[in-house]
Amino acid sequence: MSILVVGSIAFDDITSPSGSVKNILGGAATYFALAASYFSAVRVVAVVGEDFGPEHENVFRRHGIDTRGIERAKGKTFRWGGSYFDNLNEAKTDFTDLNVFETFHPEIPKEYEDTEFLFLANIQPTLQANVRRKMNGVRLTGCDTMNYWINRTRKELAETLKLVDLLLINDTETKMLAGEPNLPRAANKVLAMGPKALVIKHGEYGATIFFREGSFGIGTHPFRAPTLPIEEVKDPTGAGDSFAGGFMGYLASQTELNREVLKRALFYGGVMGSFAVERFGTERLQSLTREEIDARFQVFRELTHLD
Amino acid sequence: MSILVVGSIAFDDITSPSGSVKNILGGAATYFALAASYFSAVRVVAVVGEDFGPEHENVFRRHGIDTRGIERAKGKTFRWGGSYFDNLNEAKTDFTDLNVFETFHPEIPKEYEDTEFLFLANIQPTLQANVRRKMNGVRLTGCDTMNYWINRTRKELAETLKLVDLLLINDTETKMLAGEPNLPRAANKVLAMGPKALVIKHGEYGATIFFREGSFGIGTHPFRAPTLPIEEVKDPTGAGDSFAGGFMGYLASQTELNREVLKRALFYGGVMGSFAVERFGTERLQSLTREEIDARFQVFRELTHLD
């Protein structure tokens, strides 16, 4: 089945203890689309500037990603610069040049209207809600957000959360959104805001999915998937978006959404996040095979499963 | 089989968002012994003062714990006061009165010399090493330590680490001990210091065990066990010691130390830690049944296992 991601395409400057790169292709929609492309047909709605050339578009095309929804605007593509120090879990933002992304109003091409799965990457909540409202036929909508929107557009975000099935955020964002320091209690508060399920990403410790009573008809027992302890974390940028791409991409490849499928999706999310951080930018995500992905899935299983 | 723990018995004052208690029985050896007592015969070497009465000793005795190694000294028992705020992972120490613990020199009773399993709770590393050297017949030695000893007695700690099989510490302690911010690389550096295996406790995210090449003959693949996301964390004090008690206690109950046994031990560690935090002090650990423990073991398995 097909999955549509709406979000940012960017050029990034990244410095980490492993080195430094400039002007590499990034952005939430890019990481998501590449990760999801190993599982499903992917479509992208994003905006880029005049500096986005065929060599960049080909990164998507080589993975069979439908780029008809990428709007070309006058000006420059969104640019972000970030540095990681010893604590690789947190980036220090060096600069943010929104450029053409500042006035991004996602337009859904006619050909995309039959898309079954939708992922609203981290953009302004009202834009997310507008996209969701246009896509009446979707079977499942996933959504990301960040501290910035939780603090500044809480009311708008609350409206968006009523329209989505799955919210994928991290521990800090969950606690902030709920105003509650205990994670399971915060999860329940967030679920009461609308989503059927909440995926909390714990960075190097994996992720937990919490279910709202009655959602998917599979009970409310949470499920937790690990990530692999990785020796070579070169660049954590995009790990969360790659997680979301693996998670949603796997869901979109399945005919039924039961508990077992959601559990496996959580494992695949962790797998794709763990690959993403092994090289700078999207380098590793561009060069994977499904065999490598399934081999790591098995490693994750062995890492956590009793006989 | 029997397991001996050498460590502190204390009286604690604890404040958390759930309330406040004064003068309750605590200390690493107490939490460890109670948690381990559900799996194995437990012996304790510790020191207490004149304020340690029969009502306190009975807490151990009711669980069949051998208290002959508890030395009574002139003066008061070790006292600790701590407060937890929203971040329950970190205690603010309000006071530490070492009292009789200040001059603690662990004496091993003759009757304890045949003990098969030894756990050196968090005390000064040279004292740990001395105990280990006296116990020539032990089959397996586990060891804890803390930032204080890593910073101030690094040389002494290095000597101790050559004498132990298992080290159980948390993420921060691992990175500090190794001088390396990447966890798997830090783990390998710590393993090179002596222990056959390193158990890293991740608090609410579970624990990972790393193996030294050739140790236990079971390869070097790490294994990760979860903890349960808990809505009611009343008091995190002793969670790590309870984890160690469940982990070591389960090991001591098994005839063979293979990979599967070590994996299950890690699960039982998480189970005992998760019970400990549900009530203040050792209250929950005092009132458990093996059925409750095994039921939670199953919950942990379901939380993380694919079909």
For B53-63, how does the pLDDT look when each residue is reduced to its tens digit (9 = 90+)?
Answer: 999 999 999 99
| Size of the A and B interface in Cβ pairs below 8 Å | 79
* B-proximal residues of A, 53-112, CB under 8 Å: 86-88
Q: Is B80 helix (H, G, I), strand (E, B) or coil?
A: strand
Are B306 and A303 an interchain contact pair (Cβ–Cβ within 8 Å)?
A: no
Nearest chain B residue to A202, by CA: B205
Q: Which two tokens stand for residue A217?
A: 């008809």
A269 min Cα distance to partner chain B (Å): 14
Predicted local confidence at residue A228, as pLDDT: 78
Q: How far apart are CA A124 and CA B136, in angstroms?
A: 66
Q: Which residues contact B150 (CB under 8 A, 6 or more apart)?
A: B157, B173, B176, B177
**Minimum-distance CB partner of A306 among B86, B185, B301:** B301
| Mean pLDDT of all residues in B192-198 | 96
Closest by Cβ to A260, choosing from B181, B230, B307: B307
What pLDDT does residue B227 have? 86
- Nearest residue to B174 (alpha-carbon basis) of A74, A204, A64: A204
Task: Kindly identify which residue of chain B lies nearest to residue A307, measuring between CA atoms.
Answer: B260
Residues of chain A contacting B270 with CB distance shorter than 8 Å: none
A139: domain CATH number is 3.40.1190.20
The whole-number pLDDT of residue A176 equals: 97
- Of the candidates B229, B264, B306, the beta carbon closest to that of A263 is on B306
The share of chain B scoring above pLDDT 90, in percent, equals 89
**How many domains does one find in chain B?**
1
Q: Which chain B residues are closer than 8 Å to A17 by Cβ?
A: 181
Q: Which residues pair with B48 in a beta bridge?
A: B72
Radius of gyration for chain A, computed over Cα atoms and rounded to the nearest angstrom: 18
- For residue A189, which residues of chain B lie inside 8 Å, CB to CB? none
pLDDT in tens, chain A (307 residues): 899 999 999 999 999 999 999 999 999 999 999 999 999 999 999 999 999 999 999 999 999 999 999 999 999 999 999 999 987 878 999 999 999 999 999 999 999 999 999 999 999 999 999 999 999 899 999 999 999 999 999 999 999 999 999 999 999 999 999 999 999 999 999 999 999 999 999 998 999 999 998 787 777 889 999 887 788 899 999 999 999 999 999 999 999 988 899 999 999 999 999 999 999 999 999 999 999 999 999 999 999 999 8
Secondary structure (DSSP) of A150-212: HHH-HHHHHHHHTT-SEEEEEHHHHHHHHT-SSHHHHHHHHHTTS-SEEEEE-GGG-EEEEE-
Q: Which residue in chain B is spatially nearest to A181 when comparing CA positions?
A: B86
Structure tokens given for A136: 């009446």
Say whether B305 and A305 touch across the interface (CB within 8 A): yes
What pLDDT is stored for residue A221 in this prediction? 87
Please tell me the number of Cα atoms within 13 Å of A185 on its side-chain side.
8
b/e per residue, A172-206, with b = 16+ CB within 10 A? ebbbbbbebebbbbbbbbbbebbbbbbbbbbbbbb
CB neighbours (10 Å) of residue A103? 10
Residue of chain B with shortest Cα separation from A188: B231
Q: Contact at 8 Å (CB) between B82 and B14? A: yes
Quote the domain boundaries for residue B64: 2-304
β-partners of residue B66 are B43
Residues of B in contact with A16 (CB under 8 A): none
Chain A residue numbers with beta carbons less than 8 Å from the beta carbon of B250 are none
Give me the residues of B, 145-184, that contact A with CB < 8 A: 181-184
Please give the mean pLDDT across all residues of chain B: 95
Query: A49: number of CA atoms within 13 Å, CB side?
Result: 17
What are the pLDDT digits (tens) for A225-276?
988 778 889 999 999 999 999 999 999 999 998 889 999 999 999 999 999 9
Mapped onto helix, strand or coil, the DSSP state of residue B228 is coil
Flag if A306 and B263 touch (Cβ within 8 Å).
yes
The band of B228, judged by pLDDT with boundaries at 50, 70 and 90, is confident
pLDDT computed for residue B213 by the predictor? 85
Do A138 and A5 form a contact (C-beta atoms < 8 A)? no
* B136-160 pLDDT, tens digit each: 899 999 999 999 999 999 999 999 9
**Do B207 and B218 meet the contact criterion of CB atoms below 8 Å apart?**
no
Instruction: Identify the closest residue of chain B to A221 by CA–CA distance.
Output: B303
Query: Which residues in chain A have Cβ-Cβ distances shorter than 8 Å to B203?
Result: none
Cα nearest neighbour of B185 on chain A: A231
